[in-house]
Amino acid sequence: MNKHLLTVNIQSRLLLRRWKSEMFKPGGGLRTVDDLENEKQRKIAEEADENPMNYTIFGNRKKPKDDPFFYTDRKGGRGYSDYSNTIYPNRPYIWQPIRKYYKINYYIICVMGIVFLLFSSELWDEIDAFSAPFFPKAAEIEKEANEDEKEDGKLSHGEHSEGQESDSDCHIVPEEVAKKKKPKIGFREQRIIQYENRLRAYSSPDKIFRYFATLKSVGNDGNYEVFMTPEDFVRSLTPGVMQPRNLGLDKFKIFNPEKYKCQFTDPDNIFTKLGTHGLISFTDYLFLMTVLSTSQSEFILAFGIFDVNTDLSLDKEEFLKVQKLLLSQTNVGNRHRDHVMGNSAFKWSADSAITSYFFGKQGEHKLSIDTFLEFQHDLHRDILKIEFERRDPESNPVGIISEVSFSELLLMHAGLPEKKQKRMMKRIRKRYRAAGKHPGISFDEVNSFFQVLYYIDTIDTALHFYKLAGKPLTKQMLMKVARRVAGVKLTDHLVDVVVTLFDEDNDDQLSHREFILIMKRRLQRGLEKPKDTGRIFSKGGGGF
C-alpha cells in the first residue's frame, strides 16, 4: 500500500513539472509580455500595407464593388445569386455587356433637363412673373421711383393745386403706333386686373366712374368736377385692361382747361361732339352707358311714346323723360345711387355736354330719331375702334391686327371658363401661328362683322331655321345670312377665323348656340350683368 502511494506521488510530481515547463514555453498556454509584443510585431510585419480609403468613417472595411457583369438584387453581397435564374420577374433584364453603361441614363436625364430649362421660354416667363414682386430688378425700381416723383406733383387725393397740367391721356391713337415689346404681366398686376374685372362686373356705376376717371377740374369756389377721357371710358368697359399706376378710387389728376388739349386722329370721332376737350362727365357717362345697353328698337318705341307731334322728334324736356325712363330699365340705372351720394360731382344733371350737342346750349333744337340712331351707331363704332387700336400693333402694319387678336376681341366679354377659352384660342393659334403668312384683319372688316351683330336676334332665328332644315352651318351659309339680314358682305378670311373659333367638332361647321350666346354677350359688353355691389348700403340709407 505504501509502495503504491509512493509511485503515484512520484508520477504526479513529474506531470506537474512537465506541465510547468510547457506553460512558459513560447507558444504555450501562458505567455509573457515579451512574447505578446513579439507576436504583435511579427503580425504587423507580415501584413501588407492597407489603403485608408478601403475603410469607412466608422472604421469598418468597405465592401468590394460588384462586378458590372454580376446581376443581383442583393445589396449585401452575392449570396446565392450565382446559382439562381438570371431573369428576374420584377425588373427588366439588361444584356450583360451593356450593364456597366446603365448609369449613363442618369447623365442623359440631367442633360435633357438642363436643355429644357434653357430653351423653355414659357417656363422662364412664369418664373419671372412669380419672382417679380419679391426680386424686382434695379432698372424697374429706379423707373418706378422716377414715376413716383413725377406723379407726386400731379396726383390729387382730396388736395387742390393750381397751374398743374395733366398728361394728354385722351389721345385715341397716333397715326403711327410705335412697335414695342409687350410688357410682361407679373403676379401683382394679375391680382389688380382680377380686382378691376370684378369692379366692372358687379359695382355700381358711380363707383366705377370714381375708380376709372382720371381728371378733376377745381373751380374758384373750391368745388370740383370729375371727368373721364375717352380712353378712361373704354377702359371702364374692357376687362383685362389695368388702370394706370397711382390712379384708382378717388385719385385724380388736376385738369386745367386752358392748358389741356385733346388730339383726335379722326375728326368725326363721337367724343369730339362732347366739347373741345372730349371729356365725359358723370351725367354723360350714365347716358353713354344707357345708349350702349339699349337696343335701337327700344329707343324707337320710347321716342314714339313721348312724341306729341308724331314726327319722331323730341325737345329737351321730352328727351330727358325718355332718358330717365330707359335709364331706370337698365341694370346700370337700377344700381345707380346718386340719391345717397354726398358729393354733387357724382349726381345726375339735366345739363351736360351731350344735351348741349343735341339741343343747343339754350335747348332750342329738337332731336329726331334718325339723328339719335346715327349717334348710337357712331358711338359703337368709335369704341370698337379704340378697342381695335389697342391690339398688337408691334407685330402688324398700322390698321391691321392678327387673327389671334381678333379672336380675343370677340371673346372679350364671353364669360367662358378659362379652360374652354384656352381650347378655342388654341385652334386659332394652331391655324394662324405664322403671323407673316396671313393677311390679318383690318378695322373695316371688324366693323363690318359688328354691323352684322346688331342683327344678332334675327340671325339667331335664321340659323335656327337652317338647322331645322338639316343644312350645315358652314362658312358660305354664314356669309349668306349676313348679306341677307344685315346687308353686309363679309370677307372670306374673316369668316374663316370665326368658323375656326366656334368649330367645336372640327368639321368646318359653326356651333350655333355657342356662337349666338357669346356674340350677344360681346355686343352687350357685359352691361347685362346685375351690379349688386353697394345695394346693402343703399337700402340702409347710407353710401360711400
**Domain assignment present for 396:** yes
Half-sphere exposure of residue 437: CA atoms within 13 angstroms, side-chain side? 6
Please, are residues 391 and 409 in contact by the beta-carbon 8 Å criterion?
yes
Instruction: Going from the first residue of the chain to its last (544 residues), give the mean pLDDT of each consecutive group of 10, the final group possibly shorter.
Output: 66 68 57 80 73 75 57 48 49 60 77 77 66 53 46 42 40 42 69 84 84 82 80 85 81 74 64 72 84 82 78 80 74 51 50 77 81 87 86 65 88 83 88 74 90 87 84 86 88 90 82 84 72 40 34
Query: What are φ and ψ of residue 175, in 5° steps?
Result: -60, -40
C-alpha cell at 302: 320710347
Whether 1 maps to a domain, the answer reads no
Residue 308 has a pLDDT of: 74
Instruction: Provide φ and ψ at 3, rounded to 5°.
Output: -65, -40
- Report the C-alpha gap between 61 and 53 in whole angstroms: 9
Does 360 map to a domain? yes
Q: Is 151 a member of any domain?
A: yes
> What is the SS3 string spanning 25-94?
CCCCCCCCHHHHHHHHHHHHHHCCCCCHHHECCCCCECCCCCCCCCCCCCCCCCCCHHHCCCCCCCCCCC
Residue whose grid cell is 447623365 = 107
Per the structure, the count of domains in the chain is 3
User: Hey, how many other C-beta atoms are within 10 angstroms of the C-beta on 94?
Assistant: 13
Residue 532 Cα distances to 204, 331, 536, 541, angstroms: 7, 9, 8, 16
Task: Label the pairing between strands 252-254 and 400-401.
Answer: unpaired
In a domain, 291, yes or no: yes
Same domain, 212 and 315: yes
Q: Which of 58, 75, 93 is the last residue of a domain?
A: 93
Is 9 within the bounds of a domain? no
The residue whose grid cell reads 345739363 is 351
The domain boundary, picked from 37, 65, 93, lies at 93
Does 42 share its domain with 147? no
pLDDT at 38: 86
Residue 205 confidence (pLDDT): 83
Report yes or no on 233 lying in a domain.
yes
What per-residue confidence (pLDDT) applies to 470? 81
pLDDT at 385: 87
Same domain, 239 and 333: yes
Q: Cα separations (Å) of 345 from 247, 281, 338, 377, 443?
A: 18, 9, 10, 29, 36
If asked whether residues 515 and 419 sit together in one domain, one would say yes
- Beta strand pairing call for 252-254 and 215-218: parallel
Do residues 360 and 401 share a domain? no
Q: Where among 40, 70, 93 does a domain terminate?
A: 93
Q: Please indicate, yes or no, whether residues 259 and 396 belong to a single structural domain of this protein.
A: no
Output DSSP code: residue 455: T
Give dist(CA 53, CA 397) in Å, integer.
Answer: 71
Asked if 29 and 79 sit in the same domain, the reply is yes
Say whether both 452 and 419 belong to one domain: yes
Which residues, 6+ apart, have CB-to-CB distance to 124 below 8 Å?
Answer: none
Q: Are 456 and 523 in contact, with CB atoms under 8 Å apart?
A: yes
Give the pLDDT score at 149: 45
> Is 301 part of a structural domain of the chain?
yes
Q: Are residues 474 and 360 in the same domain?
A: no
3-state secondary structure of 447: helix
Q: Do 362 and 398 belong together in one domain?
A: no
The answer on 219 and 307 residing in a single domain is yes
Residues 346, 271 within the same domain: yes
Domain extent for 143: 138-367
